[in-house]
Amino acid sequence: MSPASALLDVRDLVVRYGSFVAVDHVSFDLAAGETLALVGPSGCGKSSTAAAVLQLHRPDGGEVWFDGRELTALDERALRPLRPAMQPVFQDPYGSLSPRCRIRDAVAEPLRVQGRWDRMAGPARVAELLDLVGLDPAYGDRRPHELSGGQCQRAGIARALAGDPRLLVLDEPVSALDPSLRAGVLNLLADLQERLGLGYLFICHDMAVVRHFSDRVVEMRDGRIVDER
Stretch that binds other proteins, among 69-77, 81-89, 106-114, 203-211 (CB under 8 A): 203-211
Is 148 near other proteins (CB under 8 A)?
yes
Ranges of beta strands (E only) in the chain are 8-17, 20-30, 35-39, 61-66, 69-70, 86-89, 167-171, 199-203, 216-221, 224-228
Q: Is residue 166 packed enough to be buried (19+ CB in 10 Å), middle (13-18) or exposed (0-12)?
A: buried
**Is 31 among the residues that bind other proteins (CB under 8 A)?**
no
Give the amino acid at 219: E
- 30 in Cβ contact with 201 (< 8 Å): yes
Residues 6+ away with beta carbon under 8 Å from 22? 15, 16, 45, 48, 223
Site for other proteins contains 41 (CB under 8 A): yes
- 213 makes contact with other proteins (CB under 8 A): yes
Q: What is the contact mask toward other proteins in residues 123 to 142, using x (rule: CB under 8 A)?
A: -----------x--------
CA distance 82 to 74: 10
Interface with other proteins, residue 205, by CB under 8 A: yes
Q: Write down the least CB distance from residue 212 to other proteins, Å.
A: 4
Residue 145 binds to other proteins (criterion: CB under 8 A): no
Can you tell me the distance from the alpha carbon of 51 to that of 56, in angstroms, rounded to the nearest whole number?
Answer: 5
Does 207 interact with other proteins (rule: CB under 8 A)? yes
Is residue 206 involved in binding other proteins (CB under 8 A)? yes
Written as one letter, the residue type at 204 is C
Give helix then strand counts, H and E, for the chain: 7, 10
Of the candidate residues 150, 156, 173, 199, the single one contacting other proteins (CB under 8 A): 150
Q: Min. distance of Cβ 132 from other proteins in angstroms? A: 12
From 19-27, 83-91, 116-124, 147-155, give the range in contact with other proteins by CB under 8 A: 147-155
- Which is closer to other proteins, CB of 186 or CB of 218? 186
Applying CB under 8 A, the site for other proteins has a residue count of 30
Residue among 132, 148, 150, 130 nearest 140 (CA) = 130
* 8 A C-beta contact, residue 220 and residue 46: yes
Q: Which of residues 159-198 bind other proteins (CB under 8 A)?
A: 178-184, 186-188, 190-191, 193-194
Minimum Å gap between C-beta 56 and other proteins is: 22
Q: Is 48 helix (H, G, I), strand (E, B) or coil?
A: helix
Site residues (vs other proteins, CB under 8 A): 33, 41-42, 134, 148-151, 178-184, 186-188, 190-191, 193-194, 205-209, 211-213
